[in-house]
Amino acid sequence: MATVDTGAFFDPMYQFEIVRILPLTIGGLDVSFTNASLYMVAIVALVSLFMIQSMRGRALVPGRLQSLAELSYEFIANMVRDNAGSEGMRFFPFIFSLFMFILFANMIGMIPYSYTVTSHIIITFALAITVFLGVTAVGFVKHGLGFLKLFAPSGVPVILLPLIIVIELISYLVRPITLSVRLFANMTAGLVIMKVFAGFVLLLGVGGVLGMVGALVPLLFMVAFTALKVLVAFLQAYVFAILTCIYLNDALHMHH
């Protein structure tokens, strides 16, 4: 484990390591409580604390936290209503949970020495495939087999139809992959860059006065990059939620 300790300092991938805090196996399935599990529980706890505790007063004139909670509510509610129509509001709680989960995962990941749940492809893919399967199910339940017309847009010349259908089908099936990789890659790349530049600061910093002055360059970059990462953390949660709304709109209304 000595190698891991040095890795903690210089290996940019070490921060993504899964550590089994409480090894556990049920019926051959590994259900260990890991650091990822800990952070997921923390996310749920924090989101719930934020959304429920702040509304305890049910004040007519909201305080700061209540305003934020209401702002989040209206922000997502408007997003769903604008992009998926009032029919889409049935799925508002799901999209809200999705947005808050990803947002808090990304934001908690901004804290030094913390772990970012959304930096793992399996997590983002699980979320994306849930959205994909759910949206497809909604489409078939609502339109029956007519949902397949989504792949054959009207007004396309018959000669082009086979080609268009193939393209549409691929673009539809690739959705869960793009949705999950976008989030995963953004978070992972940001964290790796952060770690690499932090390593530069450390390496230059031990090299005397000149090194310390030189270390200012990656340090300043890190400060600026942190601001960008906060933006990306919010933006990726937003993009995930709004794409879910758009996919849902396709399934509900089918206008292409």
Partner 1 sequence: MIRIDGVVLAQAEEPEQIAPALDQELTAELEADLGVAEDDAGMPQLAVGDFAPQLVWLAITFVALYFLMSRVALPRIATVIESRRDRIANDLDTAARLRQETDEVIAAYEQELTEARNKAHRIAAEARDKLNAEFAEERARIEAELAEKTAAAEARIGESRDRALAEIDKVAAGAAADIVESLIGDKPSDKELDAALKSAEGA
Q: Which residues bind partner 1 (CB under 8 A)?
A: 3-4, 7, 11, 13-14, 16-18, 20, 29-34, 36-37, 40-41, 43-44, 47-48, 51-52, 55, 58-60, 62, 66, 69-70, 73-74, 92-94, 96-97, 100-101, 119-123, 126-127, 184, 188
Rounded to the nearest whole angstrom, what is the least distance from the CB of residue 195 to partner 1 in the complex? 13
Say if residues 186 and 232 touch (Cβ distance below 8 Å).
yes
Place of tokens 């429920």: 52
Place of tokens 């556990």: 24
> Residue 173 or residue 189: which is nearer to partner 1 going by CB?
189
Rounded to the nearest whole angstrom, what is the least distance from the CB of residue 254 to partner 1 in the complex? 26
Rounded to the nearest whole angstrom, what is the least distance from the CB of residue 253 to partner 1 in the complex? 23
> Residue 77 or residue 219: which is nearer to partner 1 going by CB?
77
CA distance 164 to 181: 25
> Residue 63 or residue 146: which is nearer to partner 1 going by CB?
63
Among 81, 116, 115, CA closest to 96: 81
Place of tokens 């702040």: 54
Q: Tokens in use for 100? A: 């808050």
Among 74, 113, 76, 111, CA closest to 91: 76
What's the DSSP call for residue 215? H
Rounded to the nearest whole angstrom, what is the least distance from the CB of residue 172 to partner 1 in the complex? 24
> Residue 73 or residue 172: which is nearer to partner 1 going by CB?
73
